[in-house]
């Protein structure tokens, strides 16, 4: 990709726009390599476009929602909606992404779709301001809930846990047949980035213990051995490149949605696509992604995988 060099000043002035291009440019070789492996089903899809359309395209390129959700199954979608901010703040998952996921799940025959998170800010405000509740109200058999009460959680052992050996998980998640991670891509003051795996902390009751008693990254991987989403769809429409997870911080518009059946691969892809603190990082530089890879939860090596790029 040849590009006329641009001045630093101009770069700063239009940084948002150009960083998006730069990110696409940096990732381009990988797409080429991915596409080169003929018609093999993709491991990771990166769809570019409007939030809803890109979500639909990404899941369809993976083989469609029918591959993940069977008729009569109960689905839980885990977006980020624990901050009382509008979608423009890039702290909560874009409601259009959630809308499309819900719609596809219902089309695939899901008996119910629950959009769940455990909020850090006041519940009413999170549901209202994220726009996710309004979206879910449009669909039958669908609800968006922020679950903060202990009685809706159940203590669950984590057999493969190293630090986190048991935790209280939302009963609705334990009851569900399919778990879909739908995080927004954000930086995180303690874990570098917060994506699909880190997002699973929103489905348990006591996440503080992971901070003060354990190695946080190890505990995140422990949790993912228990809560392993069958499908991960990462909202990279707007990414919060610093000041995360709560913001405010610098927001870059990528207009991308990343999807994979492998949460580690999806997280790795999002890490490398994005720009964090004005810098580029490899997935292996995020400790919990690297550890998940080592422990066999998934494949963080994007270059080794079939990556399909679609534009809508």
Partner 1 sequence: MRFQRIVQTLVFALFIFLLWRAAYPLVENLPVDIFLRFDPLISLGVMGAVRRFIPALAWALVLVALTFFLGRLFCGYICPMGATIDFTDRVIRKKKQPGKTNSFEAAGRWRTVKYLFLTGVLGTTLLGVSSLFLFSPLSLITRFYSLVIYPPLMMFSDAALSLFQPLFPRIGLDSLSLAYVETPRFDTNLFVAALAAGIFAMGLIKPRFWCRNLCPAGALYALCSKKPLFRRRVSEDCTACGRCLRACPMAAIGEDFVTTAHTECVVCLKCQEICPENAISFSARGRDRSPVPEFNAGRRAVLTAGAAGVGAAAIAMTSLNYLHAGEAPRALRASTLIRPPGALPEVEFQERCVRCGECMKACLTNTLQPVWFEAGLTGLWSPRVTPRLAACEQKCNVCGHVCPTGAIRPLPLQDKKYAKIGTAAIEKSLCLAWEQNKKCLICDEICPYNAISTQFAPDHTVTVPVIDEDKCNGCGYCEMRCPVTGKSAIRVSPQGELRLAYGSYEEKARELKLIFHAKDSVQDQFILDRNDAGQPSETTGQPPEKRETPPKLPPGFITGGE
Q: What is the DSSP code string of 31-93? A: HHHHHHSTTPPPSEEEEESSHHHHHHHHHHHTT-GGGT--TT-EEEEEE---S---GGGSSS-
The stretch among 25-33, 45-53, 185-193, 228-236 that binds partner 1 (CB under 8 A) is: 185-193
Q: Does 228 bind partner 1 (CB under 8 A)?
A: no
Q: How far apart are CA 14 and CA 4, in angstroms?
A: 15
* Closest to partner 1 by CB, 10 or 206: 206
Q: Hey, which residues does 204 pair with through a beta bridge?
A: 169
The stretch among 100-108, 158-166, 184-192, 225-233 that binds partner 1 (CB under 8 A) is: 184-192
Q: Find out whether 196 and 234 touch, Cβ atoms under 8 Å.
A: yes
Q: Find out whether 85 and 130 touch, Cβ atoms under 8 Å.
A: yes
Burial of 214 (0-12, 13-18, 19+ CB in 10 A): middle
Cβ atoms < 10 Å from Cβ of 37: 12
* Closest to partner 1 by CB, 119 or 263: 119
* Least gap, CB of 149 to partner 1 (angstroms): 5
Angle 174-177-178 from CA coordinates, rounded to 5°: 100
Tell me which DSSP letter residue 40 carries. Answer: P
Q: Does 17 bind partner 1 (CB under 8 A)?
A: no
* Closest to partner 1 by CB, 33 or 67: 33
* Least gap, CB of 246 to partner 1 (angstroms): 6
* Closest to partner 1 by CB, 29 or 63: 29
Q: How far apart are CA 194 and CA 181, in angstroms?
A: 12
* Closest to partner 1 by CB, 16 or 310: 16
Q: Does 161 bind partner 1 (CB under 8 A)?
A: no
Q: Does 279 bind partner 1 (CB under 8 A)?
A: yes
Q: Which residues within the stretch 52-91 sit at the binding site for partner 1 (CB under 8 A)?
A: 84-85, 88-89
Structure token pair of residue 152: 């809706």
Q: How far apart are CA 133 and CA 126, in angstroms?
A: 9
From 42, 79, 183, 192, residue interacting with partner 1 (rule: CB under 8 A): 192
Which stretches of the chain bind partner 1, using CB under 8 A? 84-85, 88-89, 112, 120-122, 124-125, 129, 141, 143, 145, 147, 149, 151-152, 172, 187-193, 208-209, 211-212, 215-217, 242-243, 245-251, 276-277, 279, 281-282, 284-287, 290, 301
């Amino acid at each position: 990709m040849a590009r006329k060099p641009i001045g630093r000043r101009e770069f700063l002035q239009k940084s948002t726009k150009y960083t998006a291009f730069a990110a696409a440019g940096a990732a381009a070789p990988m797409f080429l390599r991915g596409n080169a492996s003929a018609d093999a089903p993709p491991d990771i899809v990166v769809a570019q476009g409007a939030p809803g359309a890109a979500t639909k395209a990404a899941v369809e390129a993976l083989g469609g929602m029918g591959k993940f959700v069977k008729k009569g199954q109960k689905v839980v979608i885990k977006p980020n909606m624990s901050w009382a901010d509008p979608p423009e703040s890039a702290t909560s998952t874009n409601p259009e992404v959630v809308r499309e996921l819900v719609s596809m799940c219902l089309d695939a025959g899901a008996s119910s779709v629950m959009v769940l998170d455990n909020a850090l800010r006041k519940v009413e405000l999170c549901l209202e301001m994220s726009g996710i509740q309004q979206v879910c109200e449009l669909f039958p058999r669908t609800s968006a809930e922020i679950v903060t009460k202990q009685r809706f959680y159940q203590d669950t052992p984590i057999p493969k846990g190293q630090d986190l050996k048991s935790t209280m998980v939302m009963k609705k998640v334990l009851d569900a047949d399919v778990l879909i991670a739908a995080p927004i891509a954000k930086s995180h003051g303690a874990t570098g980035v917060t994506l699909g795996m880190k997002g699973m902390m929103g489905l348990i009751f006591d996440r503080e213990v992971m901070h003060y008693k354990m190695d946080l990254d190890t505990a995140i991987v422990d949790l993912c051995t228990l809560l392993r989403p069958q499908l991960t769809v990462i909202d990279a429409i707007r990414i919060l490149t610093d000041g995360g997870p709560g913001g405010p911080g610098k927001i870059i518009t990528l207009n991308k949605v990343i999807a994979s059946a492998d949460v580690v691969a999806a997280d790795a892809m999002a890490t490398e696509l994005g720009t964090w603190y004005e810098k580029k990082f490899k997935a292996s530089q995020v400790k919990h992604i690297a550890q998940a890879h080592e422990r066999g939860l998934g494949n963080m090596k994007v270059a080794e995988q079939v990556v399909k790029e679609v534009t809508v």
